Structure 1
Amino acid sequence: MENFYMFVIMSIFLIILPGPDTAISTKNTLTLGRTGGVKTMFGTSCALLIHTLAAVAGLSAIIVKSSLLFSVFKYVGAVYLVYLGIKTLWALRNKNTAATTEMTTENKYESKSCFKQGFLTNILNPKVAIFFLTFLPQFVDSESNTFIPFLIMGITYTVLTVVWFLFYIYLLNQISAFMKRPKTQMVIEGITGTVLIGFGIKLALEKAHN
């Protein structure tokens, strides 16, 4: 493995860039508190580990080289992101008419789905598979066995993601007094829903790599 420290530094910058994972974590943290954010983060991390194993096994290469498989992952992922965006906007529309007891029941139910949302948002994004195939090889000697280095870098990237999201969720939770004001939350949820739909559309328009 070459330039491991450079890999760590670049990974940190890439992880903190806003994306679908950040959007869904923000929404779940603001609406369901720290528990919702942490569950979302664990879902995202599990998906990253699967992407790592897929890259090591060469499955990601098959997805990238196959236009059909790439398109399947792309459109399924895009539809799911749009679905989450519409669901967020719909919940925002109905929030003012929901009773307090109903909201409590709904929040408990939604909290259980946070892991699934984080997992599916990441695992159904073919750009993550492409990222692992194009980014990781930059730090590995092509003439040596790449199995262990890929595995170490994938796990390292996942750990860095967990650390960042734990800090991000903690920060959001600390300023929740302001962030959870009805008007503030409505604005943020509206923006988050729109962003998720935007990510979904952007993903759908991505060209397949041959």
Structure 2
Amino acid sequence: MENFYLFVIMSMLLILLPGPDTAIATRNTLSAGRVGGFKTLVGTFCALLIHTLAAVIGLSAIIVKSALLFSIFKYVGAVYLVYLGIKTLLALKSKSAIGNEDTGSIRKYKNQSHFKQGFLTNMLNPKVAVFFLTFLPQFVHPDSDTLVPFILMGLTYAILTAVWFIMYILLVDQISAFMKRPKTTTVIESITGAVLIGFGIKLAMEKAHQ
């Protein structure tokens, strides 16, 4: 394995870029506190481990090289992101039409799906598979065994992602008193819903890398 420290630096820069995972973590942390955020993080982390395993055994390569499989993952992932975005926007109307007790019960129900949301958002994104197959090989010598380096880099990327999101979730939770003000919440959830829909549309327009 070559330039491991460079890989760590590049990974950190990529992880800091906001994406669907960040939007989901933000929404769930605001709606259910750090518990909801951490459940989302665990889902994302598990999906990254599966992507790592898929890259190691070559399944990701098959998905990336097959236009049909890539399209299936792309459109399913895009539809799911748009669904979450629309669900977030519709929840704003529900909050204004129900009392505090109903709001609490809805949050309790939503909290049960936070892991699934984090997992599916990352798992159904074919760009993650493309990332693993195009980014990781740059740090491995072509004549060496790639099994152990791929596993090491995949685990490193997943751990770095977890560390960043732990800090991010704790930060959002700390300032949640301000962010949970009715007007602030409305603005944040409106932006989050629009961003998720935007990411879904952007994902649907992605072309397979041949």
Q: Deviations over 1:125-181 (max 9, x none)?
A: 000000000000010001000000000000000000000000000000111111111
* Aligned Cα root-mean-square deviation (Å): 0.6
Runs of 4+ in 1 over 4 A off after TM superposition: none
AA partner of residue 62 (structure 1): I
Partner of 2:56: 56
Q: How does 1:114-125 map to 2 (within 5 A)?
A: 114-125=114-125
Which secondary structure does the structure 1 equivalent of 2:31 belong to? helix
**Deviation readout 1:26-47 (Å, 9 max, x if unpaired):** 1101111111100000000000
Q: TM-score, normalised by structure 1?
A: 0.99
List aligned pairs for 1:132-147, cutoff 5 A. 132-147=132-147
- CA drift of 1:184 comes to 0.3
Counterparts of 2:11 and 2:48, CA distance in 1: 13
Q: Which residue of 2 aligns with 1:206?
A: 206
One-letter amino acid of the structure 2 residue matched with residue 18 of structure 1: P
Alignment of 1:39-188 (within 5 A): 39-188=39-188
Q: Letter of the 2:18 partner, please give it.
A: P
Q: CA deviation at 1:110?
A: 0.5
Which runs of 5 or more residues in structure 2 are unaligned?
A: none
* Aligned equivalents of 1:101, 1:94: Cα separation in 2: 13
Partners of 2:24 and 2:92 in 1: CA distance: 15
Q: What do residues 42-67 of structure 1 show as CA deviations (whole Å, max 9, x unaligned)?
A: 00000000000000000000000000
Cα distance in 1, alignment partners of residues 101 and 95 from structure 2: 12
User: Once the 2 structures are TM-superposed, how far is the Cα of residue 74 of structure 1 from its aligned partner?
Assistant: 0.2
Structure 2 partner of 1:22: 22
Residue 72 of structure 1 aligns with an amino acid whose one-letter code is: I
Q: Compute the TM-score of the two structures, normalised by the length of structure 2.
A: 0.99
Identical aligned pairs, as a percentage? 71
Q: Does the residue aligned with 2:206 lie in a helix, a strand or coil? A: coil
Equivalent pairs counted in the alignment come to 210
Distance in 1 between the 2:192 and 2:102 partners?
23
| Counterpart Cα distance in 1 of 2:112 and 2:152 | 31
Q: Distance in 2 between matches of 1:114 and 1:160?
A: 20
- Deviation, 1:201, is 0.2
Partners of 1:93 and 1:18 in 2: how far apart?
Answer: 26
Matches within 5 A, 1:8-19: 8-19=8-19
